A and B are shown apart, each in its own frame.
Chain A
Amino acid sequence: MNYENQEFFAPGHRACAGCAAPIIVKWVLKIAGPNTIIVNATGCLEVFSTPYPHSSWRLPWIHVAFENASAVASGIDAALKAQGKREGTNIIIFGGDGGTSDIGLQSLSGMAERGHDILYVMYDNEAYMNTGIQRSSSTPFGAWTTTSQVGPYNIIGKNEFKKPIAEIMAAHKIPYVATVNPAFLPDMKMKIEKALKIKGPKFIHAISSCTTGWRHDPSKTVEIMRLATETGIFPLWEIENGDFLKMKLTYVPKQRKPVEEYFKPQGRFRHLFQNPEKIKEIQKMVDEWWAKFENKN
């Protein structure tokens, strides 16, 4: 069945104009279809989509807390099994980067290790946006946030590197891990479809621009996310069964754009332009990541 013409995520929610999260959710639901139960970790998506007594969700949906979406989903999986109703129902979790890489990592890891048949989709806006743009372990090196502020004693913003959550999940040897970018819609759709066909734990890392936290023009959402991949900063790949050696790049930019093209339209990176050597450092890291593949081919 194809549900592309149906909307399971109703309009009228309260996301900021230009927020990428609803694009991701809408497409995941269109591919999953009506026989789906959603678990949502605390965060922007949960808050903007369910201002009581309204709800954007035309599917059964539950939010319990910030760090435990994977455990809640595990309980749903078990309950459906016990009731003999497990066949044919998708269980999908949406979590922000904080609810996934930080406070929710333990329950996510537990769910993956126990092998529940669940698709986890992390929408990565690279900070705690719901509480007002605080750094997370998924915030990239060099980004300004309200807890990695820029000043004479800290010219870089965030000094630490982004936690490689998708690789961490792949190391759990779960059947499917992929990175997706809503600006590359056919690639994203293909991966969601593929993930939902596989039994067991699946993890999808979706980049999700946040106009408010990334400080960019709301009309530039898709453009900026496209640059994340075109510059090679957010590569698109899949890993099956934890086989890193068979990691498959699903999109290889013909000519990678310089990283500053991605940084320039975003206020969170503005300070880096006063320190061009930092931008060079980041460029070098990105080049090194790609070199592994370029040498191999």
Chain B
Amino acid sequence: MVMMMLKGNEATAYAAKVAKVQVIPAYPITPSTLFPEKVSELISNGEMKAEFIPVESEHSALSAAIGAAATGARTMTATASQGLALMHEVLFIASGMRLPIVMAIGNRALSAPVNIWAEQQDTIAQRDSGWLQFYAENNQEALDLSLIAFRVAEDKRVLLPAMMGMDAFVLTHTMEPVDVPDESLVEKYLGPPEQKYPTLNPSQPSTFGAFVFPEHYMEFRYSQFVAMEHSKKVIDEAFEEFKNIFGREYRKVSGFMNEDADILLISMGSMTGTAREAIRKLREKGEKVGLIKLSVFRPFPKEELVEITKNARIVAVVDRNISIGFAGAIFTELVASYNNIEKKPKILNFILGLGGRDIRVEDYIEIYNRAKEAENRGVKEIQWINVDEDAVYEVEGPL
């Protein structure tokens, strides 16, 4: 174990190093560029042994990752925003081929207009791609969850790729002390990097990516669905084992001052720390408020979320993403999680922090106050926080 001052991107590069990742195809994009840079540096210094492929696009980064993983190598890449969007086609292929690739994402807004700052829309937009999704609150979590992602992805009950999101700049570019575990301990946790599933191997030729007719296609999809369901248990086991080896504890869903809370806020990613601060302040004033943090979005931890929120009167879901035409993603899925459950809290959605707009303690206090209003009267189900509502542009033509 070594304590180092690391930016989020460096923490994930160190995760690749200690996991003995064998192949890293990557392409630069703000705010994830530091990942390929750091990997190149570690390899050039002789600190890390891996094949780095400086590909010509993100589409090729993931395609090369697929080739490498299909050859049985532990494989990792990183991207963000436009890069992840460019990968869209191949994301489904990686999961359909059941390849345990891990990808670190610097969560960033999507164009247009161009914006390079924090937002979780990029990964949320890929929630149907069959990848597991983890979200880090700080750089230690970014490293740890990357290792956990490998452990779950490579489990033969799962064999699905995983993304690990960390908010742009707030994590990707901010230095924090990070405990970088020893490679030997990581090997104990993950096993050796050579994969044991069937691979492209001349002594045992197999066909990968065949043309499948309606007669068989649905079974492939169903087995993917089942694998993702299995991953729920496998994630819990991976968290448990992680705690045993490295001493740090993770949960899909964790609570803060939530036991007796009437109103619960739900948060995911780096802003959780700010939310915690707001909760402390409100508690000092005697408000019965608590916080729930999500570390896993795929598989969606619906059982845990329902269990932990069911006794609250109001749940205020804070989404740093928006599905234009409906609502934020966590809200939508939490509401759906309560389907067929009689007793449910009132669930509200608050959209904030898009495109890197600062998320302040006051914003959470505002959210709390608005949620509290809903105890006595009807309020808008979906509300935007810290946005100038008068600035709605009259669209006369392309912006």
A residues neighboring B (CB under 8 Å): 34-37, 39, 46-47, 50-53, 55, 57-65, 67-68, 70-83, 89, 106-107, 109-110, 113-114
CA distance A47 to B53 in the complex (A): 29
B188 on the A face (CB < 8 A): no
Contact A52 to B60, CB < 8 A, known contacts A73-B67, A74-B25, A75-B66: no
Asked if B53 contacts A74 (CB within 8 A), the reply is yes
Smallest distance from the beta carbon of B22 to chain A beta carbons, Å?
4
CA distance A52 to B207 in the complex (A): 9
Asked if B60 contacts A62 (CB within 8 A), the reply is no
Q: Mark B266-303, 1 if CB is under 8 A from A, else 0.
A: 00000000000000000000000000000000000000
Asked if A79 contacts B71 (CB within 8 A), the reply is yes
Contact A114 to B63, CB < 8 A, known contacts A76-B70, A78-B25, A79-B72: no
CA distance A62 to B63 in the complex (A): 12
Residue of B whose beta carbon sits closest to that of A39: B67
CA distance A52 to B211 in the complex (A): 6
Residue of B whose beta carbon sits closest to that of A75: B67
Asked if A59 contacts B90 (CB within 8 A), the reply is no
Q: A51-B211, A75-B53 are in contact. List 6 more A-B contacts (CB 8 A).
A: A46-B211, A55-B207, A60-B199, A63-B210, A79-B23, A82-B51
Asked if A59 contacts B202 (CB within 8 A), the reply is yes
Asked if B60 contacts A74 (CB within 8 A), the reply is yes
CA distance A82 to B22 in the complex (A): 6
Q: Which residues of A contact B51 (CB under 8 A)?
A: 78-79, 81-82
CA distance A136 to B213 in the complex (A): 27
Contact A82 to B23, CB < 8 A, known contacts A37-B202, A60-B200, A64-B209: yes
B residues neighboring A (CB under 8 Å): 22-23, 25, 49-51, 53-57, 59-61, 63-73, 75, 89-90, 93, 97, 194, 199-202, 204-213, 216
Smallest distance from the beta carbon of A215 to chain B beta carbons, Å?
25
Smallest distance from the beta carbon of A136 to chain B beta carbons, Å?
20
Smallest distance from the beta carbon of B227 to chain A beta carbons, Å?
19
Q: Which residues of B contact A51 (CB under 8 A)?
A: 210-211, 213
Q: What are 6 A-B pairs with beta-carbon distances under 8 A?
A: A62-B207, A67-B59, A76-B200, A79-B51, A79-B67, A110-B55
Partner of A50, one of B53, B201, B207: B207
Asked if B93 contacts A65 (CB within 8 A), the reply is yes
Q: Which residues of A contact B201 (CB under 8 A)?
A: 60
Partner of B71, one of A46, A80, A113: A80
Q: Which residues of B contact A57 (CB under 8 A)?
A: 205, 207
Contact A74 to B202, CB < 8 A, known contacts A65-B90, A80-B71: no
Partner of B200, one of A62, A78, A113: A62
Contact A62 to B67, CB < 8 A, known contacts A57-B207, A71-B55: yes
Asked if B22 contacts A79 (CB within 8 A), the reply is yes
Asked if A114 contacts B216 (CB within 8 A), the reply is no
Smallest distance from the beta carbon of A7 to chain B beta carbons, Å?
13
